[in-house]
A and B are shown apart, each in its own frame.
Chain A
Amino acid sequence: MKNKVKDLALDGVLRQNPTLKLVLGTCPTLALTTAAMNGVGMGLAVTFVLMCSNVIISSLRNIIPSRVRIPAYILIIATFVTIVRMFLNKFAPTIATAMGPYLPLIVVNCIILGRAEAFASKNPVLDSMFDGIFMGLGFMLAITLMGAFREILGAGAIFGVKLWDFKIEFFTHASGALFTYAIFIALFTYFSGLYSKKSKQKTLQKDKKEVEA
């Protein structure tokens, strides 16, 4: 069990990172990364919805007929998004306004429907819960990093705290969002390529040694 959780964690945050590897849920990633704080807010909201919907869908996986499964999943997800929205409107209205229309759009976020279809509909409840948590955290990590990058370069601040006067306004525009995302995916692909090469060499050397021994 412990190994499985570790595996799911590595998958969600690194190996199958929904934002940088699978490139899912691009709308909020591009639209809300103008500030690091938005990333944290959106990430937490998505993680909560993903965890809850994964648990419910996984526990109903033998009851929902496969022909109507997509509408059923969407209704389950929409319910949790409504809960998150009501909660944010009441306790954190500034975050809710900053997210604007992208908050209800969590319903059609491909990460959530994608995990429901690819994981929760085939796996037991506890595994699905961990999958939801770690996929959500991977998403949160990626968009918070991108948000911080754009906020530092575009506004000279981080988490709303001013650092210096230097700023490049390009990074606050729509084009800056696309540029940042492209650079992040390219770097992620490059480094994961390096890493897998290295680990391959390691196993090769190990095999060699074993053969020699």
Chain B
Amino acid sequence: MNYLTIIFTAMLASNFVLVKFLGICPFLGVSKNVKSAFGMGIAVTFVMTITCLITYPIYTMILVPLGVEYLEIIVFIFVIASLVQIIEIIIKKISKPLYNAMGVYLPLITTNCAVLGVAEICIAGDIVVDLLGAVTYGLFGGLGFTLAMIMMSGMREKLDTLSLPKPLEGFPVSMLLACFMAMAFNIFVGISF
């Protein structure tokens, strides 16, 4: 696949949150104001990009030649957990404002499905075939996640003023909102370059 198609697929046509349902917990749970949704989105994008940059070579250059592909889950989750820890320490040292904006979300990211998901999709081989493709996929997948988070949080701010039937309050109504957003994202399916 060429890079333009990878960008388009990762961000819109198979959006991580609305089509693949990866990272849906922060999408439904955390996002109540636009600013924090943006911070969370950028932090996830950052970790996803670096995860792809590191896990893809580990898989193709170490695990496959040694014939120990079955260790992939353990290795990946270990890499992601340490990566998140390292990034947190570095950001804390380098930039205080950036840490204040992103720091609170970082520990949550280890268990974000989107991060482990992107590593798994990259090595599956049907979309991504080389390292540059993997990094592109991670970066734009993360941006797609950010886009969905911001759209959702913008709508959830308005939800508080509505009066709803009691059983629909909370999760069900945000899922219905997400349902309409997923319908809208359906128009991107099938476009290729």
Interface residues of A (CB under 8 A from B): 23-24, 26-27, 30-31, 70-71, 74-75, 78-79, 81-82, 85-86, 100-101, 104-105, 107-108, 110, 113, 173-179, 181-183, 185-187, 189-190, 193
A104 near B182 (CB under 8 angstroms)?
no
Q: In whole angstroms, what is the CA distance A24 to B25 when docked?
A: 8
Interface residues of B toward A: which range?
35 or more
A79 near B74 (CB under 8 angstroms)?
yes
Q: List 30 A-B contacts (CB under 8 A).
A: A23-B28, A27-B22, A30-B24, A31-B20, A31-B21, A74-B81, A79-B74, A81-B73, A82-B71, A85-B73, A101-B117, A101-B120, A104-B72, A104-B73, A105-B113, A107-B73, A108-B111, A113-B111, A173-B183, A173-B186, A174-B185, A175-B180, A178-B178, A178-B182, A181-B175, A182-B175, A182-B176, A189-B167, A189-B172, A190-B167
Cβ of B87 within 8 Å of any chain A Cβ, yes or no, is no
Q: In whole angstroms, what is the CA distance A133 to B180 when docked?
A: 35
Q: Is the interface of B mostly helix, strand, loop or mixed?
A: helix
Which chain B positions have C-beta within 8 A of A179? 175-176, 179
Q: In whole angstroms, what is the CA distance A193 to B167 when docked?
A: 9
**A-facing residues in B98-117 (Cβ within 8 Å):** 110-113, 116-117
B124 near A101 (CB under 8 angstroms)?
yes
B111 near A110 (CB under 8 angstroms)?
yes
Cβ of B121 within 8 Å of any chain A Cβ, yes or no, is yes
Q: Which 8 A-B pairs have the closest CB atoms?
A: A182-B175, A178-B179, A175-B182, A190-B167, A30-B21, A101-B120, A182-B172, A189-B167
B24 near A27 (CB under 8 angstroms)?
yes
Cβ of B64 within 8 Å of any chain A Cβ, yes or no, is no
From B124, B173, B182, name the one whose CB has the most chain A CB atoms within 10 angstroms. B182
Q: In whole angstroms, what is the CA distance A88 to B191 when docked?
A: 34
**A-facing residues in B80-134 (Cβ within 8 Å):** 81, 110-113, 116-117, 120-121, 124
Which chain B positions have C-beta within 8 A of A182? 168, 171-173, 175-176, 179
Which chain A positions have C-beta within 8 A of B173? 182
CB within 8 A of B77: which of A78, A100, A186?
A78
Cβ of B18 within 8 Å of any chain A Cβ, yes or no, is yes
B74 near A82 (CB under 8 angstroms)?
yes
Q: How far is the CB of B37 from chain A (nearest CB, A)?
A: 17
Q: Mark B25-37, 1 if CB is under 8 A from A, else 0.
A: 1001000000000
Which chain A positions have C-beta within 8 A of B193? none
B25 near A26 (CB under 8 angstroms)?
yes
Q: How far is the CB of B60 from chain A (nearest CB, A)?
A: 17
